[in-house]
Amino acid sequence: MKVAINMDFGEQIAHLEQSSIVGKVNQCSIACGYHAGDGYTIFNAIKFCQENGVSIGAHPSYPDRSNFGRQIMHLPPKELLCHLIYQLSAFKSIAKYVGAPVLHVKLHGALYNEAMHNEVVANTTLEAMEKIFPNAALMAMEDSALALHSSKRGFDIWKEGFADRLYEGATKLVPRSVDGSLLTNPEEVRRQINNLRAGFVIDNLGNPIHLSVDTICIHGDNPNINAILEAL
């Protein structure tokens, strides 16, 4: 399988030039309204991807619009399950209306990071997917709790790497609060993409981490996203 490029999309990022993703991005994970967007933005994002040959996936998050979904919320499993079912069901309905297949699900922000290590969050995610998107693939870091439990429950895993984030370990990124944790230099991002395609990434201490990836994420809210896409 050729390593794909994916991007978070539909997040109402004012500086993102949508046309710049055409021919550069293979997969878009579209915000489901809890950290960004709403029904109208979901519809428009799906239509744009459909018209430009980009596959789509749902991108649910914690109910945390004020922090863009990047703050951990310690929710009871049933509450988290309901939030996930709500987001995935709404996304599924809009995609069905547009006539676009939903090929994957990717958690957003703090929810994604928590699911990499927290087995309760991972299994709650999978419980929601089994009801709403039982045939969709799941994006997750290799050897994470989410990936391991997904495999046990029969889901297809798309092992994900990150082009514009600094790594602390194989399943852990340096927190965004740390300077330099977000890579914004186009050449640096391109170098990390090439490293990931070659099967490794350099961590925050300068050491290589061996990784196998199927898809590589570039964040749509990266302040230099247009120049990064142009450099690919």
User: Backbone phi, then psi, for 49, in 5-degree steps?
Assistant: -65, -45
In what helix (H) or strand (E) does residue 157 lie, and over which residues does it extend?
strand 157-162
The CA distance from 144 to 52, in Å, is 32
Q: Which of 175, 163, 18, 9 is nearest to 100 (CA)?
A: 9
The model carries a pTM of 0.96
Mind listing the pLDDT tens digit of every residue in the chain (232 residues)?
Answer: 589 999 999 999 999 999 999 999 999 999 999 999 999 999 999 999 999 999 999 999 999 999 999 999 999 999 999 999 999 999 999 999 999 999 999 999 999 999 999 999 999 999 999 999 999 999 999 999 999 999 999 999 999 999 999 999 999 999 999 999 999 999 999 999 999 999 999 999 999 999 999 999 999 999 999 999 999 8
Look at the domain 4-231 and name its fold: TIM Barrel (3.20.20)
The pair of structure tokens assigned to 46 is 């799906």
Q: How many residues does the chain have?
A: 232
Give the start-to-end residue ranges of the domains of the chain: 4-231
